[in-house]
Amino acid sequence: MDEAQCEYFRKKLDSMREDLLSEADRTISEMTDHSSQYPDPTDRASAESDRNFELRIRDRERKLLAKIEQAIERIENESYGVCEECGDDIAIPRMEARPVTTLCIECKTKQEQAEKAQAG
Ligand SMILES: [Zn+2]
């Protein structure tokens, strides 16, 4: 991956990160609103389950955010776009579709097959 490509992905990752963070902020302020908004216990229960849903979403966001930050780190230490498993360059279209990926398509496929085999 050359310098221009690194720069491109760095910007892409930065904006993904910004989006996630602003989304998380919004979720938190909505959650804060909920607690005072429903004096009726039934409504409160549904607000609770909404909140569980939001927390699950946030858990997913948090994991993605960690991946984005790791990807930015890899750009900084120049290992971005290199497969963790086999050390080959990951194809640019794959990076484009999934900028946080650490595996080339071959290794990813192998990993998925292994996971499927494990799951039975
Ligand atoms: Zn690989």
CA of 61 to the centre of ligand 1 (A): 26
List the domain range (segments joined by +) for residue 107: 82-120
- Which residues crowd ion ligand 1, with CB under 5 Å? 83, 85-86, 104, 107
Examine the domain organization and report whether 38 and 7 are in the same domain: yes
Cα–Cα distance between 103 and 90 in angstroms, integer?
Answer: 7
* Gap from CA of 90 to ligand 1 centroid (Å): 7
> Based on the domain organization, do 63 and 8 belong to the same domain?
yes
Same domain, 16 and 49: yes
Contacts of 36 (CB under 8 A, 6+ apart): none
Q: pTM of the predicted model, to two decimals? A: 0.74
| 23 plus 65 within the same structural domain | yes
CA distances from 17 to 2, 53, 99 (A): 22, 21, 12
pLDDT in single tens digits along all 120 residues of the chain: 889 999 999 999 999 999 998 887 777 677 666 555 666 777 777 778 888 877 887 888 889 999 999 999 999 999 999 999 999 999 999 999 999 999 999 999 999 999 999 886
Same domain, 74 and 86: no
| C-alpha 65 – ligand 1 centre gap (Å) | 23
